[in-house]
Structure 1
Amino acid sequence: MFQFGFNMFPEIPRPFNTAYHCFSVSMLPGNDRQDVERGGKIIMPPSALDQLTRLNINYPMLFKLTNKNTGRITHCGVLEFVADEGKVYLPYWMMHNLLLEEGDLLQIESVSLPVATFSRFQPQTPDFLEITNPKAVLENALRSFACLTTGDLIAIKYNQRIYEMCVLETKPGNAVTIIECDMNVEFATPVGYKEPSPKTKVDEEMSVDPADMMPEPAGFVAFKGAGNRLDGKKRKDSTSTELVQPKASYVRGIPDYDYRIGTLKFIRTIKPEKKVKKDIDDDFQAFQGAGFSLRSRK
């Protein structure tokens, strides 16, 4: 008889299948756990960890969540084992997908899922297109998730806003794990998105600013002169903003009511001659008067 120091027949993992009362993360005692709300993992009681260890469950621990009343199914991972006995705490978006209320019974079963290779998401609002790099934002948000299930409506938070994404497709199966995987991501057209209508020539002509078509201001314009330096050097062109000139009032011209179709009129503007003021008396000569003295001449 030979004895070996290792087990030639490793123990086959046994399934974990238990029902718990589910609650949202906001009902978890203690401080606010926003890290649970943003991801796709749940909090289970310590007894579940002890049972999972004895059942020789494979890592990472992945679970199938089932609402037997409605038949809704999703998949998730576990974050901590600190919940009260008989209770589990779920993110609000996960409870919404499963159509669960506070305190409803939830069936939890251990599963083994294939590694994801492809997934396609559909934003539920066109606002998601305003993000500069949507793929980078989604990649960062999915770090808090362990699984993806086709048909789920997940929620991600970015810049103090929550964006909902529908999982339209996953490969190689309807439920996949995204832990340490190389996954290709595609986006479908967001819900409510409308293609912008092409601009016509009329729209381009109307896009001209009417202020550019106004005539140049006539008459006196304040601060229109040029400046000179005291040392005689030339002034450098500055990038500072120019003085704001008062807008001249636009005077609309009088239309030609006698215009006939098919005729052209070339109006030449003739500058009026400058009128020279003439004195009334052209024979006037200055300093032609006589002088007088207060002292009499001898």
Structure 2
Amino acid sequence: MFQFNSFNMFPDISRPFNNSYKCYSVSMFPGNDRQDVEKGGKIIMPPSALDQLTRLNIEYPMLFKLTNNKKSRTTHAGVLEFVADEGKIYIPYWMMHNLVLEEGDLIQIESVSLPVATFSKFQPQSPDFLDITNPKAVLENALRNFACLTTGDLIAIKYNSKIYELCVLETKPGNAVSIIECDMNVEFAAPVGYQEPQRQPKAEEPMEDEPMHHIDSQNFFPFSGEGNRLDGKKKKNEKPPLHHIAKNHVRGIPDYDHPPFGLLRFDRSVKAISDKPEPKAEPENNNAAHFQAFQGPGSSLRKSRK
């Protein structure tokens, strides 16, 4: 008698995806060079994995936990394509380095659901990362090829034909987060080997209000320099320099003990006024009586027609 087994017709959708595969780097992928895998955090899986995932009750986007049981190393990744050979997967080289894997080692892959990222902190592994004009924009553009981040991973991004490594120091709200369509705050720690520039103390400037007693008053001649004309010509009637005239000049020193207040007296007495010299009398001009103004002949600027 024919017996019908229902579990043969319908798979157990509550069972999670959990399989083992041989792991290889992208450089071992047959056919063509897949540099797009090296630029991000996604892997290539076989078609049988897609057929099994479609039969299970999993959440999208598909995220996976990769575990190297021999070294107890774990990371997380997304999937790029299902075109690998059966029983094999291809992952980026930086991911193999984090998992301490060799070509052909077995790796355990399990489907997981990760919270959406809200915060992440990165530490560049070289001070050369600071030479980039806008490091935050470069990192944001590179993370578009990633599906998730794991605390402790050492990711690699490529910019201007140079590879920069960054360590994921912290992620929130968990140690592994999804960064697909999220609003995430990013911070940077000081790069490994970075040294703060040493600030040199400024040279002390002389005080402006210092007394000038140190100047030799016997040999000081103010305005003793030579002047020059702007047109380049020599000056006329040049006078001898002042230091030849004022040889016995002594520069005065102000009396700092002089009282600030005093009394000014203006003598306006009759005696003071009478002491002024009388103005000299102008000589009399005998011809003033005979002087008549505007008595000369007149002339017209316009000639007459006659």
Mapping of residues 124-139 of structure 1, within 5 Å: 124-139=125-140
Aligned mates of 1:13, 1:25 — CA distance in 2: 32
- Aligned residue number for residue 113 of structure 2: 112
SS in 1 for 2:117: coil
Aligned mates of 2:35, 2:189 — CA distance in 1: 28
- Aligned residue number for residue 94 of structure 1: 95
Aligned mates of 1:129, 1:148 — CA distance in 2: 22
- Aligned residue number for residue 58 of structure 1: 59
After TM superposition, the score normalised by the length of structure 1 is 0.64
- Aligned residue number for residue 259 of structure 1: none
Aligned mates of 2:178, 2:31 — CA distance in 1: 30
- Aligned residue number for residue 239 of structure 1: none
- Following superposition, the deviation at residue 58 of structure 1 comes to 1.6
- Aligned residue number for residue 191 of structure 2: 190
C-alpha contact (below 8 Å) 1:14/1:57 kept by paired residues: no
- Following superposition, the deviation at residue 60 of structure 1 comes to 0.5
Aligned mates of 2:186, 2:62 — CA distance in 1: 24
- Following superposition, the deviation at residue 112 of structure 1 comes to 0.4
**What is the RMSD of the two structures over their aligned residues, measured on CA atoms?**
2.3
SS in 1 for 2:130: helix
Q: Report the residue type matching 1:98 in the other structure.
A: L
- Following superposition, the deviation at residue 164 of structure 1 comes to 0.3
- Aligned residue number for residue 258 of structure 1: none
- Aligned residue number for residue 144 of structure 1: 145
Q: Report the residue type matching 2:104 in the other structure.
A: G
- Following superposition, the deviation at residue 156 of structure 1 comes to 0.4
- Following superposition, the deviation at residue 265 of structure 1 comes to 9.0
Aligned mates of 2:34, 2:137 — CA distance in 1: 24
C-alpha contact (below 8 Å) 1:93/1:154 kept by paired residues: yes
- Aligned residue number for residue 71 of structure 1: 72
Percentage of identical aligned residues:
80
Structure 2 stretches lacking a partner, 5+ long:
1-11, 204-214, 226-306
C-alpha contact (below 8 Å) 2:13/2:55 kept by paired residues: no
Aligned mates of 2:164, 2:199 — CA distance in 1: 29
> Where does structure 1 differ by over 2 angstroms across 4 or more consecutive aligned residues?
11-14, 199-202, 262-266
Mapping of residues 159-174 of structure 1, within 5 Å: 159-174=160-175
Aligned mates of 1:197, 1:58 — CA distance in 2: 53
Q: Please tell me whether residue 44 in structure 1 is matched to residue 45 in structure 2.
A: yes
Aligned mates of 1:12, 1:113 — CA distance in 2: 19
SS in 2 for 1:35: helix
Q: Report the residue type matching 1:186 in the other structure.
A: E
Mapping of residues 257-276 of structure 1, within 5 Å: none
- Following superposition, the deviation at residue 32 of structure 1 comes to 1.2
C-alpha contact (below 8 Å) 1:65/1:76 kept by paired residues: yes
What do the CA deviations read for 1:142-190 (whole angstroms, capped 9, x no partner)?
A: 0000010000000000011100000000000000000000000000111
SS in 1 for 2:101: coil
How many residue pairs are counted as aligned between the two chains? Answer: 203
Mapping of residues 226-237 of structure 1, within 5 Å: none
Which structure has the bigger radius of gyration? 2
Aligned mates of 1:13, 1:98 — CA distance in 2: 29
- Following superposition, the deviation at residue 30 of structure 1 comes to 1.6
Aligned mates of 1:137, 1:193 — CA distance in 2: 20
C-alpha contact (below 8 Å) 1:72/1:99 kept by paired residues: yes
- Following superposition, the deviation at residue 130 of structure 1 comes to 0.9
Aligned mates of 1:161, 1:121 — CA distance in 2: 18
Rate the CA distance shift 1:47–1:196 in 2: closer, same or farther, 3 A. Answer: same
Aligned mates of 1:107, 1:73 — CA distance in 2: 10
SS in 2 for 1:191: coil
After TM superposition, the score normalised by the length of structure 2 is 0.62
- Aligned residue number for residue 249 of structure 2: none
